[in-house]
Amino acid sequence: MDVQTPCVNRRQFLLAGAVSAMTVTLGSLFKGRVFAADEHKTATVYGFEKKWIAKLSEIKTGDTIVFLFPREDAHSLCTLYKLGVRAGGGIGPDQDIVAFSDLCTHMGGLLRGNVDFKSAVAGPCPMHLTTFDLRRHGMVVSGQATQNLPQIVLETDGNDVFAAGVVGLLYGHHNNMERRDRA
Ligand code: FES
């Protein structure tokens, strides 16, 4: 009988390993668990009370909506954007509605209102000029910050839009669940 042995080269092996690692990481993210960035820093995806943000049908391309989440303090400043282009984590018929923390992950510079809709990039941060790609989960485009801008998980229930979680560590926190008062 002719038995064929699967042939896997080094590149395929490494690629398979990387895909497995990503699957485990993404799986843990979207099961709503708390995961550890290191032993002192944790970022929570779910675990907060949902907050109503807007009526889906009333959000137009180029709109921004400022809100507080996950708490009612100044560390919880966030903005919802309707980008007009499909974005990672986007909701709505065009998957172009996203929301992010307004605090730069470098040293907490306030990004609110500082967005270029043509490129879907937030910033530059007024403190040290970091920019973040809102189509790609708040990935750093350029500048001093090294961490993605925390993305707010949005959900819809009929025509209502809710904030339901946070992906990434909010600036000034060791754990998103802790309460912080911004100086
Ligand atoms: S605080 Fe935003 S780049 Fe430094």
pLDDT digits (tens, 9 = 90+) for 97-150: 999 999 999 999 999 868 999 999 999 999 999 999 999 999 999 999 999 999
In whole angstroms, what is the distance from residue 114 CA to residue 131 CA? 10
Tell me if residue 106 is catalytic. yes
- Whose CA is closest to atom 3 on ligand 1? 128
- Kindly tell me if the per-residue pLDDT of 52 is higher than 70: yes
- Kindly tell me if the per-residue pLDDT of 18 is higher than 50: no
Residues 6+ apart with CB under 8 A from 11: none
pTM: 0.76
Q: Does the beta carbon of 123 lie inside 6 Å of ligand 1?
A: no
Q: Does the beta carbon of 143 lie inside 6 Å of ligand 1?
A: yes
11 SS3 class:
helix
- Domain 41-167: give its CATH code: 2.102.10.10
Tell me if residue 128 is catalytic. yes
Q: Does the beta carbon of 125 lie inside 6 Å of ligand 1?
A: yes
Burial class (CB in 10 A: 0-12, 13-18, 19+), 83: buried
The residues with which 160 forms a beta bridge, in sequence order, are 55, 157
